[in-house]
Structure 1
Amino acid sequence: MEFESYKSNISTIIAGGFVTSALTIGRKLGLFDTLTKLTTPVTSQHLADLCYLKERYVREWLGCMVASNIVSLDDDDNYFIPEHCKPVLGDMNILCIYPLVNAMTKRAMECFRKEGPDGYGFEDMPTEMVDAQDGRLGEVNGLVNAILEPVLAMRESSVLNILDIGSGAGVFTRVLGKRFPGAAVFGVDVNELAIKKAITKPGSPSNVTYLQASVSCLPSNWTNKFDLVLIYGVLHDLSCPSECMCEVSRVLKYDGVVSIADPHVHSNHKDNSGDFSHAGMAYAISSVICLPSSMSTEGAAGNGIGWGIENREAFLSEAGCGRIVSSPGIHKIPADRSQRVCPGANRDPVDRSHRVCPGTDWDPVDRHIKSVQELTGTQWTDHIESVQELTGTQWTDHIESVEAHTGGGIIRSIPSLFRNLQPPSGQITSSVSKNIELEVP
């Protein structure tokens, strides 16, 4: 890029940031709504009166809008928005997030620093974020229809249970409840405030239930329960996407469908070059919202929007998914789930059915470790070290040698550890082979 073009590009971007603040004002104070409804040009005083605002401030705002070619002037210097341009103003819902991005920039900068925190979760963000996340979607009925169209090859009457993961304040969950009145619809979110807002918002159908829970530890009695699981704009935010997909695999019916929608940004920066209005904005938002969330726990994935569509599809395929070429892309998890481990995780969801969530009163893995410690009089870590000393190899090498001799993954041999253990009744769920389709826009 030539010097002058480079300079002009930066100037335009900086100016756009300041103009965005004026766009936010116009949206929040109803100036755009009023201008959109008007059929004839108006004076600044008339517009101010209609919006119950001070004329002097409205006139200053109009000056910015005219200079930015967003509002036009007629020959009498009255203000209007051309009819054919008005629909564009309905696409400005992302402005809901703009003030919060500014408010969180200082905190995000601390995460950039080597000595700073790794990240922060949505529960640590301004409380307005819950409503902003829903508000950015605008009118969601059409969006939900577009999401469902490619995944509902099954008869709609056969959809009995639906799960909305990362449901927030329930904007999608409510629409799903109305769209499928005969189904039980569940909205799950880890954010307590979001769930409280979802429960108290008016207009929620009677077939909708909200639950505060981690996506990595859904209720144990949900195994093989859901016909449809929706994960909209959530997967890249998660600090534990592998655990999430393991749980999705567990709770989905054998013929169930998972619909996943995430930002359409390429994983390779070069492929996003010049895409300022979409990829550039997405990365900026991610730096203060999505990435900190995906790095908010120890051992977090750290994906954010920069994860990108190529890395996301590779992540989904890592579970043994066979890629079917179509648009949008479809991933299928093989029916023989014993032949795969969850993406990026050292466990198989079939084996996961033998245990309950951490923190409960029975976990065969923990009991097995404890029995080894009791028999040997050593800690589990000491036992691993003794194996390494005896074999002259690292523990990972030892695992690989076991796999080489057995012809199978070490994870698949884990069930043998549990044969003689009898858990409390009702805490073992059966393994069910499933065909899972993941629709990725």
Structure 2
Amino acid sequence: MDSDRLQKTEPDAATQAAFGERMMGMLNDAALSFMISIGHRTELFDTLEKLRRPATAQAISDESGLNERYVREWLGAMVTGRVIDYDPATKGYQLPQEHAAWLTREATPNNLAGVMQFMSMFGKIEDHVLDCFRNGGGVPYENFDRFHEIMAEESFQTVVAALEEHILPLAEGLLEALIQGVDVADVGCGRGLALLRMAELFPNSTFVGYDFSADAIHWATDEAKRRGLTNIRFAVQDAARLQDEDRFDVIFAFDAIHDQIDPHAMLAGIHRALKDEGLFFAQDIHSSSHLEKNLDHPVAPFLYTVSTMHCMTVSLAHSGCGLGTCWGEELALQMFEEAGFRNVAVHRLEHDIMNNYYLCRKGEADR
């Protein structure tokens, strides 16, 4: 957007018509996001992938155990949205393999159907966010009834599935240290899927997961018991009030910093809780702190929407700083330095267009 365009007063007919077409596309795509979410939650995409042949609505209904009339109407949205193929002669529906690669659980970590669940969740709190536009404040976590469930699915895709092969090897010597045995924490762990997986992989290490949500911690604790893990525990803990000092060899924070009420206090507490030469390993959103540098980001509108409807508002609900999802790499590096970390390394992974991976070491000079 240049200054000449911003100052232009006379509307351009072609531009106006093109934007109208774009708005129609947005309307259809927004509607499809709800239907894709339903297709994910009902496992209809997985059913179609399993069939791997054209099938009638009744056959799909029988295979999935779902109501045929609803399945048929859902298929109408999928066909007109060019998601599923349809043969009117046989009344057969089929999910193309090229589309299944982005829509099924087998497609992890590329299953974008699960991400569509955010849209329906945001719809439920739109009125609360609207009130914040008028009166300030924010919407607290307790208003998001499926947040930790959806985030656990997303964490499984972007973190758990990539831990051994991609994420942990980013830090030189980390895999070997975990095998030998170290003390590890995950701050803002949610349901703790990443930490649970590490506890399974590295029985000689000990793991602690902290999160603000009692519901998430209860779920994670039960899951650890179900898996028979004895080297892991979870505790309800405000990330801004960590009490540990010189305790951990490694601390993780997966997609957690930008949601915090007081991220500066969180980072200072993490620095304090690490042993000398300890590693802070943070995954957070890949973006710039400057709006104009995010114009070509492939999912920038989604990120700013997620921020408005969740990440920023949950912080502002408690009079927090409201960093927002697109707090950006520049501000992140500044805040890591202010917390005492030096020589922070920034990594990207091919499978994960959404995140940066920050490796921050605590040294004697940082104290």
Q: TM tier, shorter chain?
A: 0.7 to 0.9
CA–CA distance in structure 2, aligned partners of residues 293 and 336 of structure 1 = 35
Alignment correspondent of 1:278: 299
Larger radius of gyration: 1
Counterpart of 1:318 (choices 325, 328, 338) is: 338
TM-score by length of 2: 0.83
CA–CA distance in structure 2, aligned partners of residues 230 and 149 of structure 1 = 14
Please say if 1:60 is aligned against 2:73: yes
Alignment correspondent of 1:335: 364
CA offsets, 1:94-133, max 9 Å, x none? 13333211111111111111x34x22332x2233222222
TM-score by length of 1: 0.70
Alignment correspondent of 1:255: 277
Please say if 1:119 is aligned against 2:132: no
Alignment correspondent of 1:87: 101
Call closer, same or farther: CA 1:53–1:205 in 2, change over 3 Å. Answer: same
Superposed structure 1 runs of 4+ greater than 6 Å apart: none
Q: Please give the root-mean-square deviation of Cα atoms over the aligned residues, in Å.
A: 2.2
Report how many residues are paired: 331
Alignment correspondent of 1:141: 160
Please say if 1:205 is aligned against 2:229: yes
Counterpart of 1:303 (choices 304, 323, 336) is: 323
CA contact (8 A) 1:227 1:256 kept: yes
Q: Give the Å deviation of 1:176.
A: 1.5
CA–CA distance in structure 2, aligned partners of residues 55 and 330 of structure 1 = 51
CA contact (8 A) 1:95 1:136 kept: no
Alignment correspondent of 2:131: 110
CA–CA distance in structure 1, aligned partners of residues 265 and 340 of structure 2 = 16
Q: Give the Å deviation of 1:5.
A: 2.6
- Structure 1 counterpart of 2:262, which letter? C
- Structure 1 counterpart of 2:154, which letter? R
CA–CA distance in structure 1, aligned partners of residues 308 and 38 of structure 2 = 24
Gaps of 5+ in 1: 338-432, 434-441
Alignment correspondent of 1:355: none
CA offsets, 1:155-183, max 9 Å, x none? 23344111011111221221121121111
Q: Give the Å deviation of 1:317.
A: 3.0
**Mapping for residues 16-415 of structure 1, pairs under 5 Å:** 16-74=29-87, 76-89=90-103, 90=107, 91=111, 92-113=113-134, 115-116=135-136, 118-122=137-141, 124-139=142-157, 140-145=159-164, 146-154=166-174, 155-156=176-177, 157-201=179-223, 202-203=226-227, 205-219=229-243, 222-273=244-295, 275=297, 278-298=299-319, 300-319=320-339, 321-323=341-343, 327-328=347-348, 330-332=359-361, 335-337=364-366
Equivalent residue of 1:289, what SS? helix
CA contact (8 A) 2:277 2:361 kept: no
Gaps of 5+ in 2: 1-13, 349-357
CA–CA distance in structure 1, aligned partners of residues 145 and 302 of structure 2 = 22
CA offsets, 1:371-401, max 9 Å, x none? xxxxxxxxxxxxxxxxxxxxxxxxxxxxxxx
Q: Which piece of structure 1 moves more, 244-253 or 68-77?
A: 68-77
CA offsets, 1:210-229, max 9 Å, x none? 1111112223xx32111111
CA offsets, 1:189-218, max 9 Å, x none? 111111112112332622110111111222
- Structure 2 counterpart of 1:112, which letter? F
Call closer, same or farther: CA 1:254–1:9 in 2, change over 3 Å. Answer: same
